Amino acid sequence: MRPRRLAAAVTALGLVAAGPTVTGGTAVAHGRGYSALIQRASYGVPHITARDFASLGFGVGYAQAEDNVCLIAEQMVTVNAQRSRWFAADARNVSSDLFHQKAIDDRAAERLLVGPRDGLRSPSNEVRDQIRGFVAGYNAYLRGAKTITDPACAGKPWVRPITELDVWRANWARMVRASSGALADGIVAAAPPVTNGSSAPSATNGSSAPPRADGTSAPASAPQAEAVVAARDGAPAGVGSNAYGLGRDATASGAGMLLANPHFPWDGAERFYRMHLKVPGRYDVEGAALVGDPLVEIGHNGRVAWSHTVSTARRFVWHRLTLVPGDPTSYLYDGQPRKMTARTVTAQTPGGPVSRTLYDTHFGPVVVVPGRFDWTAQAAYAITDVNATNNRALDGWLAMGRARSVGELRAVLDRRQFLPWVNVIAADRDGRALYADHSVVPRVTGSLAAACIPAPFQPLYATSGQAVLDGSRSACELGRDPDAAVPGILGPANLPTLVGSDYVTNSNDSYWLANPARPLEGYPRIIGDERTERSLRTRLGVHQVRQRLAGTDGLLGKGFTTGKLWDVTLGNRAYGGELVRDDLVRACEAQPTATASDGTTVDLTAACAALRGWDLRVDLGSRGAHLFTEFALAGGLRFADPFDPAAPLNTPSRLAVDDPRVRTALADAVRKLAGIPLDARLRDIQTEPRGTERIPIHGGRAEAGVFNMIIGVLQPGVGYPKVRHGTSFLMAVELGRNGPSGRQILTYSQSANPNSPWYADQTRLYSGKGWDTIKFTEQQLKADPNLVTYQVGERHH
């Protein structure tokens, strides 16, 4: 059935394409035009070959538009500050539009393109060509498509041709995802206090929010910014990952091996897209990128494979501003007053324009987080966002794709310092493994922190890595490390790196235990914490490697093959259950009633039985897994023994059975699951909709100690009928002498379009723990029984 559907799709596409010729398997451009060869393999994965980066970009833009035109179109609505115009004019969209309109007015994206085109001071010609081609390919699809079949945007006026500037704006937004972008509502909320004795002006846009000194109404809160401040580290909300880099000592063959397992949203602009991109002799990389991005961001070439996990480092610093008495929009700097820059920013909504006056300092924007970072008559707070000027990322990923060894990959990281908010885990053909948090991190050294973080803010820095610097002294500017790519960030010598022939791992805790045999210590606190308790997911991740190397995990033999790596990753162990389930059941059976947090007495008899029968996994056939998940989410995993930094993988581990909050959490879980059998199979209650089909989904929550993270939204009385976030692109690749091999999958499938043949196929595959194979070599690709080839292109006029 699939080959016929593919052929029908390609026939339609052939009418759109400009018909370039093909020579030797590579598309040849028509003079100065674009031309690319697209080979669609099983599950709709495009393998795109072109003679130059402009044509490669054309092929990428065209293929991504075929599969996800609505996602890309919506991204462009967002970065052009038009969400309120085309979608709901709610508080979140208005805040987003004001933030992005400010970036447009500031020419944030245009500034990225100024300077010598060396990939460090501004993007290279290769990357600019890739972007130019991507735009042309996307627009060619729009012009040629008779109709858009995705109901999410079919016939919508906000689907339009895009420009190169649109894509650069989207790139800038990706860079500030964990900094300015995460604080957007706090930037929009920032307003000076109304001075005593003056009457507060009325709001001008019909809002009931409190009045601001500029006469408009201010948001009553900034929930996104509040979440950033409350977070234990700098990882952006809603994303995470696991990754293993396995060296020669950890694999059965002695070749390097990599596990890529990013945990990202299953819907929206942060979906991954699988692709294989090739410019013969210059670039050849298979893997995945976020939809709308033109280059592979997680993947492999013929000799090196890499993945990313979200780093704990902070991407911005606070500056406490000492305000000039009587003038809350001026601040003192080395004893001299400096005036803030005030700018009125306007967002268009169906109900009329909404305007705010936003404020900047020489550090960056003023931000308000109610109750934590307030703007008073005496003080205000601004941030320096070190990713706001990061124009190095696309060239960095391009250079990563060309690295031939872990050593070369490390040199790319050292020289370019481009990764906005992620670690790198990598392995190479020679059996070397690499961990590095070489992300873009503000230059807060130990000495700067000691001298410039005022005493009241030192505990915040110690616990969360948020640095609040004295903004009144030039001595407290970020400065420059001699080996840093740009001013204001930590240089490579101050960033944690580990290379070896055994293994490295990361599951979103800090760098400290990338390999517990060789802890990384002594780095600035702003990057992450050391000698502190690790998450259950981190601990299980390390245990899984160690047990596989020892052959004690129940699988045959010792060491990893790609098959064993796949089996371990999707083994679906719930480490929290392994630690405490037996003690919990004993306590439950000894006293089978408990008081819920609302004071209700709850009968725990059925819960005790469900937990006793649970297999300690989150497989489709696991019964009672959801009960333990809700117990963990209710705060039931409380331990009696303390964390021991000398035994970080095994402590804490004993359930605090005498803590009444443990029983309360179990009672609350039972109440929350009312109407759902406590011993239900996971397959019957955790699903992903595809049309009228409900595909069973295995995996579970990190709070329960699950490695294969899946987050569903509980619907009372029903279960978890939709996945929100979790395992997305999954790849287990071995870098053998005959080329890369292994397994890969995109859990939510290649296309978000319900009318696409590639809307549900990989989701069903994931449900059965199946896989697609690595198809890097010509031989591997030609062996695909569903391979369909077509050309796309466009002449320049």
Question: For residue 239, what pLDDT is reported?
Answer: 84
pLDDT at residue 136 tops 70: yes
- Measured CA to CA in angstroms, residue 748 lies from 46, 265, 277, 536, 674 at distances of 16, 10, 21, 26, 29
b/e sequence 660-689, b meaning 16+ C-beta within 10 Å: eebbbbbbbbbebbeebbbbbbbbbbbbbe
Residues β-bridged to residue 205: none
Q: Decide if 610 contacts 623 (C-beta within 8 A).
A: yes
Q: Which residue has the tokens 């700098």?
A: 234
pLDDT at residue 638 tops 90: yes
Residue 616 corresponds to which tokens in the numbers above? Answer: 């300690």
Q: What mean pLDDT is reported for the chain?
A: 93
Q: What is the mean pLDDT of residues 289-301?
A: 98
pLDDT at residue 22 tops 80: no
The single-letter DSSP state of residue 50 is: B
Percent of the chain with pLDDT over 70: 93
Report the half-sphere exposure of 153 (CA within 13 A, side-chain side): 23
pLDDT at residue 603 tops 90: yes
More confident residue, 235 or 55: 55
Question: For residue 174, what pLDDT is reported?
Answer: 98
Question: For residue 236, what pLDDT is reported?
Answer: 81
pLDDT band at 238 (very low <50, low <70, confident <90, very high): confident
Question: For residue 797, what pLDDT is reported?
Answer: 61
Type of residue at 439: S
Residue partners of 647: CB distance under 8 A and separation at least 6: none
Question: For residue 512, what pLDDT is reported?
Answer: 98
pTM assigned to the model: 0.94
Instruction: State the catalytic residues.
Output: 241
Question: For residue 220, what pLDDT is reported?
Answer: 59
pLDDT at residue 4 tops 80: no
Q: What is the mean pLDDT of residues 575-603?
A: 98
Q: Decide if 418 contacts 439 (C-beta within 8 A).
A: no
Question: For residue 159, what pLDDT is reported?
Answer: 98
3-state secondary structure of 196: coil
pLDDT at residue 213 tops 80: no
Q: What is the 3-state secondary structure (H, E, C) of 508-563?
A: CCCHHHCCCCCCCCCCCCCCCCCCCCCCHHHHHHHHHHHHHHHCCCCCCCCCECHH
Question: For residue 11, what pLDDT is reported?
Answer: 32
Question: For residue 566, what pLDDT is reported?
Answer: 98
Percent of the chain with pLDDT over 90: 91
pLDDT at residue 29 tops 50: no
Report the length, in residues, of the chain.
797
Q: Which residue has the tokens 């993270």?
A: 709
Q: Decide if 665 contacts 605 (C-beta within 8 A).
A: no
Residue partners of 546: CB distance under 8 A and separation at least 6: none
pLDDT band at 796 (very low <50, low <70, confident <90, very high): confident
The single-letter DSSP state of residue 71 is: H
Tens of pLDDT, residue by residue over 488-541, are: 999 999 999 999 999 999 999 999 999 999 999 999 999 999 999 999 999 999
pLDDT band at 237 (very low <50, low <70, confident <90, very high): confident
Tens of pLDDT, residue by residue over 198-210, are: 433 323 343 334 4
Question: For residue 3, what pLDDT is reported?
Answer: 33
Tens of pLDDT, residue by residue over 97-121, are: 999 999 999 999 999 999 999 999 9
Distance CA 686, CA 667 (A): 21
Question: For residue 199, what pLDDT is reported?
Answer: 32
Q: What is the mean pLDDT of residues 164-169?
A: 98
pLDDT band at 146 (very low <50, low <70, confident <90, very high): confident
Residue 794 corresponds to which tokens in the numbers above? Answer: 């466009």
Q: What is the mean pLDDT of residues 229-246?
A: 92
Q: What is the mean pLDDT of residues 52-57?
A: 98
